[in-house]
Amino acid sequence: MNRPIARERPVGVLGLGELGRACAEALSDLNFPVMGWSRSPKSVAGIACHSGDDGLETVLRAAQILVLLLPLTEDTRDLLDARRLAMLPEGTFIVNPGRGPLIDDTALLAALDAGHIGHATLDVFRAEPLPPDHPYWAHARVTVTPHIAADT
């Protein structure tokens, strides 16, 4: 199976604070085309920055890899719900080292089961530690990491 090279795989980084900015810049240095999104307008050299609802939709519709590095607020809780997950291109990979409640777990599991989302690597969860009977543990399209993203 041919996999696209970095420059052909758009990455969306949700959250352009200190961590999001560093992540976006590192991915850009690896030749990924990177788009960033934040609630308020930001400017990061070499990164296509978007904000607001229209900007979020723009990033979601283009990202083949989506990295979540947003703070948890009432505005970001369940930000990735069924409607927004459906905006992502088929096969998108999601990486969440940010906050667990940014993702609606039920919606993500449904999108994974349907094959719309290609894979999710999750380091944070709505309940910490992740309960032993949670469906993420056994899901073939989910990688659970032991809350180690902060170390990197």
Q: Which residues are catalytic?
A: 99, 147
3-class DSSP state of 137: helix
**Most distant pair of Cα atoms in the chain: their distance:** 44
DSSP state of 130: P
DSSP state letters, 49-96: EEEHHHHHHHHHHH-SEEEE-PPP-TTTTT-B-HHHHHHSPTTEEEEE
How far is residue 44's CA from residue 118's CA, in Å, rounded to a whole number? Answer: 28
CA 62, CA 47: separation in Å to the nearest integer?
Answer: 14
Contact 24, 13 (CB under 8 A): yes
